[in-house]
Amino acid sequence: MGGLAAVVSGSVVPLKGVTFAERLGWSSTNVVVILHVDDAGMHHASNRGVKESLENGVATSFAIMMPCPWVPEIARYVKDHPGVDAGLHLTLTAEWEFYRWGPLAGRSAVPGLTDPEGCLWRNVAQVVAKATPDEVERELRAQLARAEALGLDITHLDSHMGTLFAKADFFERFVRIGVEKRLPILAIGGHMTYARVENGEATEALKPWVPKIWNAGLPVLDDLHTGSYGWPPAEKTARLTALLRELKPGVTEILFHASVPTDDFPRVTGSSESRHADTKALTAPEVRQVIAERGIILTTWRELMARRSKAAPM
């Protein structure tokens, strides 16, 4: 805690007009993108989407939900593909009707995170209302411990359903663990063109953390786009190409939930068609073409951390 306390006690003002891409060594005109797939490990269909999007598409990164049933399969994939950009999608909710999971720390250790069925709560509001910061941290550490026990080379940490961004003291525990483990966390602090629109309240509330996270030695993004989940499936490829054409310079992460549905996957989630459309968009030739035409630089959290280790403090 001492190291984090020293970081957060300082008062640092970021330089206006300088992107985090520039701080990481790219030019002021470079458009740098992480095409990221969430929910790995949730289901076999999710793992299939990750593999397809990485191997036959333009996805560069993904994150694993450690409490979920299909983690061993994606863990094997990570170990068989050294250098892949695999993070943890830190999970404090179990949102589906019948396909659910519980806390890895155990119900008795985190009662405030556990619903009457013994599973994690279904939505973020319930977690905020019921869980304590200590319980949140206990469960996050249990999820990291499972990743370590599986021998995974984890490159970053983010948050399923944005739960860790919903309350300041939850976010503080998230930062604490990232700094301690030297693992990049999802933090946005640049021009935030899409983040302000899509997640404006959380973005503004957490803005004071941005220079502190950077000066603790972790990278920060310029922007985050989370809206693809709501795109109509038939429009996803066109929407993605349009988005890539209009991105501003800086480092932007674009989130997807790519899956290749199995027969049972529509019974798990009503978003099966949408998730399949994510895979189709990430593997579409026209998406690859616009990336080449614009000279977009695709990157990973692994590269961001390597560049941050050579960058100056703010």
pLDDT tens string 138-194: 999 999 999 999 999 999 999 999 999 999 999 999 999 999 999 999 999 999 999
CATH code, 296 = 3.20.20.370
* Position 201 in a domain: yes
- Top-confidence residue, 152 or 314: 152
- Which pLDDT score, from 0 to 100, does residue 2 have? 37
- Which pLDDT score, from 0 to 100, does residue 17 have? 81
* Position 140 in a domain: yes
Task: Specify the pTM.
Answer: 0.94
Question: In angstroms, rounded to a whole number, what is the distance separating the alpha carbons of residues 273 and 265?
Answer: 10
Domain count, the chain: 1
pLDDT digits 0-9 by tens, 78-103: 999 999 999 999 999 999 999 999 99
- Which pLDDT score, from 0 to 100, does residue 47 have? 98
Question: In angstroms, rounded to a whole number, what is the distance separating the alpha carbons of residues 51 and 115?
Answer: 33
* Position 1 in a domain: no
Domain range for residue 76? 14-308
* Position 124 in a domain: yes
Question: In angstroms, rounded to a whole number, what is the distance separating the alpha carbons of residues 208 and 120?
Answer: 30
Is the pLDDT assigned to residue 60 strictly greater than 60?
Answer: yes
Instruction: Report how far Cα 262 is from the mean position of its chain's Cα atoms.
Output: 24
Is the pLDDT assigned to residue 11 strictly greater than 60?
Answer: no
Mean pLDDT score of the chain, rounded to an integer?
95
* Position 116 in a domain: yes
* Position 4 in a domain: no
* Position 27 in a domain: yes
* Position 314 in a domain: no
DSSP string, the chain: -HHHHHHHHS---PPTT--HHHHTT--TT-EEEEEEEEEETS-HHHHHHHHHHHHSSS--EEEE-TTSTTHHHHHHHHHHSTT--EEEEE-----SSS-----TT-TTT-GGGB-TTSSBPSSHHHHHHH--HHHHHHHHHHHHHHHHHTT-----EEEGGGGGGSSHHHHHHHHHHHHHHT--B--B-S--TTHHHHSHHHHHHTTTHHHHHHHTT---BSEEE-GGGGS-GGGHHHHHHHHHHHPPSEEEEEEE------TTHHHH-TTHHHHHHHHHHHT-HHHHHHHHHHTPEE--HHHHHHHHTTSPP-
- Top-confidence residue, 11 or 311: 311
